[in-house]
A and B are shown apart, each in its own frame.
Chain A
């Protein structure tokens, strides 16, 4: 009888031991489970009313360089100078372009890290190598159509999805050398037609193609051919009734070169922009709008 009772007691003891072990959470030991004592802080003062933020385009202050060149302001064709518009003007703007515009996009991506509201709703459809010629290709694994929210598609489709009403375009650098001036303009016209067919309520703002740094010019792609291209592009905009935005008028030296201080790759392709050039560009778009 006593042995039976002892056995029962032994079993119950094991059960209780087992259950209490199971109740212990399976967590690693905590080094300091006691929360630190924090001195109570005095009530903070109410935040002051913030000053209204006025968009400021030019914030870069590059070190002056002996290589800086004098920028010549040419008489602009197309849209004339107007009072600068605020950020909300760009809420329904999409910019289409190649690596030159891609740099403007990246400039804004960078700026949005500390100036979130600056041109915050502007959209971009950019791809390095994009031109009015390859924009007409079918979308394929190898095509260079810009992606919209990560998906590659035809410009007419991405413009539609963007919902933008003002379509700014800067292309040409990847066209003139391949298709010549005439061929490039024909492609451009076709590209505009296709976008318009799918998006009848958009307005085009055709930007002149920027010049190259003089040392980077090539036999078929140089400032002479780009000037001829811009002349034809302006004519095209007049014929079509689209707006022409002559950004080039503030982006060249006396000899028609992209100024050294505006060029991020003077020893390379000589077509890409520095931050200060991007700021000048945005300032120009702000102050040359349709009434």
Chain B
């Protein structure tokens, strides 16, 4: 009788241990992107010039984005007032916040579009082809004549297994 109980105990316990600790069921890894490195990569890839680095004051004034919503960010934009180029990559504190930040990126893009529509046709085209992206807690705005190249870099960076 005792032998039987011991065998049963062993049968129940072993699978439990193997499931909890075994290498066959790893926990899903959260996406990790170095946003500054990604922006640097984008900068090198498209060889942009005279782009101003964005700081948190810029984000608040231009997008209404608060520092408390972010873990990190990296951005650059043209400041001549007539070129639309603007790239911003955000790491929000969580996915829900990232989704809310996308709306702010959309509002900024729409404002840029309305402003350029009637008098800067070439820039308007760049704005119309811009991308707003989000994956997990990351979001990005890509306004650039080289948007396809930037998009490829984004896709590569947020690729998960």
Contacts and interface: CB of A to CB of B under 8 A. Distances in A.
Contacts of B119: 128-129, 174, 269
B81 A103 contact: yes
Which among A11, A21, A124, A147 has the highest number of chain B CB atoms within 10 Å? A147
Interface in B36-64: 52-53, 55, 57-58, 60-64
Contacts of A110: 52, 79
Contact of B62 (A21, A112, A150, A268): A150
A187 interface: no
Interface string A4-44: 10011001001100100110001000000000000000000
Contacts of A143: 114
B6 to A, nearest CB: 6
Contact of A8 (B6, B65, B81): B6
A68 interface: no
B52 A113 contact: yes
A22 B52 CA distance: 50
Which among A22, A141, A149, A273 has the highest number of chain B CB atoms within 10 Å? A149
Interface string A139-170: 00111100101111000000000000000000
Sort chain A's interface into a size bin.
35 or more
Contact of B57 (A100, A112, A152): A112
A79 B64 CA distance: 35
Contact of B115 (A18, A22, A144, A150): A144
Given A106-B79, A141-B110, A264-B80, A7 B20 contact: no
Interface in A88-142: 99-100, 102-103, 106-107, 109-110, 112-113, 124, 127-130, 141-142
Contact of A149 (B9, B17, B61): B61
Nearest to A18: B17
A113 B107 contact: no
Contacts of B30: none
A127 B115 contact: yes
B115 A99 contact: yes
B111 interface: yes
B125 interface: no
Given A21-B21, A149-B61, A272 B107 contact: no
Interface of B: 2-3, 6, 9-10, 13-14, 17, 20-21, 26-27, 52-53, 55, 57-58, 60-65, 77, 79-82, 104, 107-108, 110-111, 114-120
Interface of A: 4, 7-8, 11, 14-15, 18, 21-22, 26, 99-100, 102-103, 106-107, 109-110, 112-113, 124, 127-130, 141-144, 147, 149-152, 174, 264-265, 268-269, 272-273
